[in-house]
Amino acid sequence: MKLAINPNPYVRSPRSTFKIMMELLLGLLVVWLCSIIYYFTKGNAKEGLFAIINVLISVLSCSLVEILFFIPKWKQEANHDIKSLLKKELNSFGYITGIILALLMPVGVAWWQIIICSIVAIVVGKMLFGGFGHNIFNPAIVGRIFALICFNTSFSYGLKDFNGSESINAGATILTEWAGNGWDLHAFNTPKWDVVLGNYAGALGETFSIVLVIVGIILCIRKVIDYRICLSYLVMCSLSALIVGCRTYYPIKFMIYQICTGGILFGAVFCLTDPVTSPTTPLGKILFGSIAGFVTMLIRFRGSSAEGVAYSILTVNMLTPLIDNLLAGRTTDKFKTKAIVIGAISLVFLLISCSYTIGVKQSDPDVNLKPVSKEVVEYHEPSLENLEVYYE
């Protein structure tokens, strides 16, 4: 008779990290599927094919690099069979990094670029720190930033079809185009609902904002990702955009366009919420999200490129230990002070974002107001009707 003396409790929750990660994987697969559908229907056959192949290459190379790292220790184990090696890989979740990395890239990226980026992501971003659970930076974002620095100019967002015909997706993303036009709302070529639905070219995962929102909500409810991070990030981004948008006379439209373009939604759901690289306290998570939102908008309006999401995530990942240090202790201790300080920080961020309005092109209200025909009235936001009354 053996009595186990392992520590209590002897009842454990059936929920495991592996299950959580599988749910996350399911969410990623849904997003991937949507982008495949998009490229096959809106783009051409070649783009659709590459949307599939890119992800597979990335997942394979990430997993292989991780397995290489496991081999030395695995060799020392008593019974080193292939099964135990695969089990190690399954519990290290390199494939999730792989799929996120591929979804962060546009469809026109070359296969060797993906492989280099995934090697950088896994080696520099993850394994050098000690593997799963010890990394400071989100590995997928590390890979993506590497791509931004090294290959960004050679990226194309669309591919020529097999017969040589040009894709509608060729050229820059609508975000960079928009930024190039000084954030002028009238310069948009893409129809309104296509922008909101995410029905435009960009990185693979950025298509279909609505799907991202739905997947995000489901993952939050299933407690796979933390709703505090997503919410505080999105609220910070939208408030900043709302303030800037006041200059364009269409603040709400401007805000929705800002949120739905670029990687904000994908970053909020799949990158920022990576538990390994985010703080653990509830208040810390809120602070983390709002700093990330601030940095995103700062880079978007004041940086050299409009792609601020990846850099902002890397920046806040760096701040995580600091936030955890500042908020050490019980979560209820000095709760009011902490809440006031965090609220004040967020307010300062919003005040700073007022300065972004300089440089944003003022959309001339008169241009839109001239013909008071029925169609135009329908097209405008409800807030405009008040303006019309005012002008009349």
Does 345 help bind another protein (rule: CB under 8 A)?
no
Residue 106's CB is within 10 A of a number of other CB atoms, namely: 24
Out of 41, 154, 331, 383, the residue judged to bind another protein by CB under 8 A: 331
CA-CA-CA-CA torsion sign (358, 363, 366, 367): positive
Does 83 help bind another protein (rule: CB under 8 A)?
no
Helix intervals (H) in 105-250: 111-123, 139-151, 174-180, 192-197, 209-221, 227-245
d(CA 167, CA 158): 6
Site for another protein in 280-309 (CB under 8 A): 280-283, 285-286
Query: Shortest CA distance to 272 belongs to which of 257, 250, 252, 287?
Result: 287
Q: Segment contacting another protein (CB under 8 A): 12-20, 28-36, 178-186, 211-219? A: 12-20
299, 308 in Cβ contact below 8 A? yes
Out of 161, 184, 324, 388, the residue judged to bind another protein by CB under 8 A: 324
Out of 163, 332, 337, 373, the residue judged to bind another protein by CB under 8 A: 332
Give the residues across from 106 on adjacent strands.
Answer: 203
CA-CA-CA-CA torsion sign (170, 172, 173, 175): negative
Does 134 help bind another protein (rule: CB under 8 A)?
yes
Instruction: Give helix 227-245 / helix 335-354 axis angle, nearest 10°.
Output: 30
Does 221 help bind another protein (rule: CB under 8 A)?
no
Cβ contacts of 281 within 8 Å, gap of 6 or more: 324, 327, 331
- Report the nearest approach of another protein to the CB of residue 218 (Å): 17
Does 192 help bind another protein (rule: CB under 8 A)?
no
Residue 11 or 367: which CB sits closer to another protein? 11
CA-CA-CA-CA torsion sign (278, 279, 285, 291): negative
Site for another protein in 84-103 (CB under 8 A): 91
Residue 318 half-sphere exposure, CB side, CA atoms within 13 Å? 9
Question: How many of the chain's residues bind another protein (CB under 8 A)?
Answer: 49
Q: Would residue 215 be called left, alpha or beta, if left means φ above 0 and alpha means ψ between -120 and 50 degrees? A: alpha
Does 389 help bind another protein (rule: CB under 8 A)?
no
Does 5 help bind another protein (rule: CB under 8 A)?
yes
Collapsed DSSP state (helix, strand, coil) of residue 203: strand
- Report the nearest approach of another protein to the CB of residue 36 (Å): 29
Out of 335, 354, 376, 391, the residue judged to bind another protein by CB under 8 A: 335
Out of 39, 132, 178, 200, the residue judged to bind another protein by CB under 8 A: 132
d(CA 259, CA 254): 9
Does 275 help bind another protein (rule: CB under 8 A)?
yes
Cα angle for residues 103, 105, 110 (degrees, 5° grid) = 120
Does 7 help bind another protein (rule: CB under 8 A)?
yes
- Report the nearest approach of another protein to the CB of residue 116 (Å): 27
Residue 228 or 247: which CB sits closer to another protein? 228
The CA distances from residue 242 to 327, 333, 355, in Å, are 30, 34, 13
Q: Segment contacting another protein (CB under 8 A): 25-33, 58-66, 273-281, 303-311? A: 273-281
Q: Segment contacting another protein (CB under 8 A): 8-16, 57-65, 149-157, 292-300? A: 8-16
Out of 85, 123, 131, 381, the residue judged to bind another protein by CB under 8 A: 131
- Report the nearest approach of another protein to the CB of residue 164 (Å): 48
Does 77 help bind another protein (rule: CB under 8 A)?
no
Q: Segment contacting another protein (CB under 8 A): 9-17, 179-187, 247-255, 345-353? A: 9-17
Residue 335 or 391: which CB sits closer to another protein? 335
Residues that bind another protein (CB under 8 A): 1-20, 91, 131-134, 223, 226, 228, 275-283, 285-286, 324-325, 328-333, 335, 339
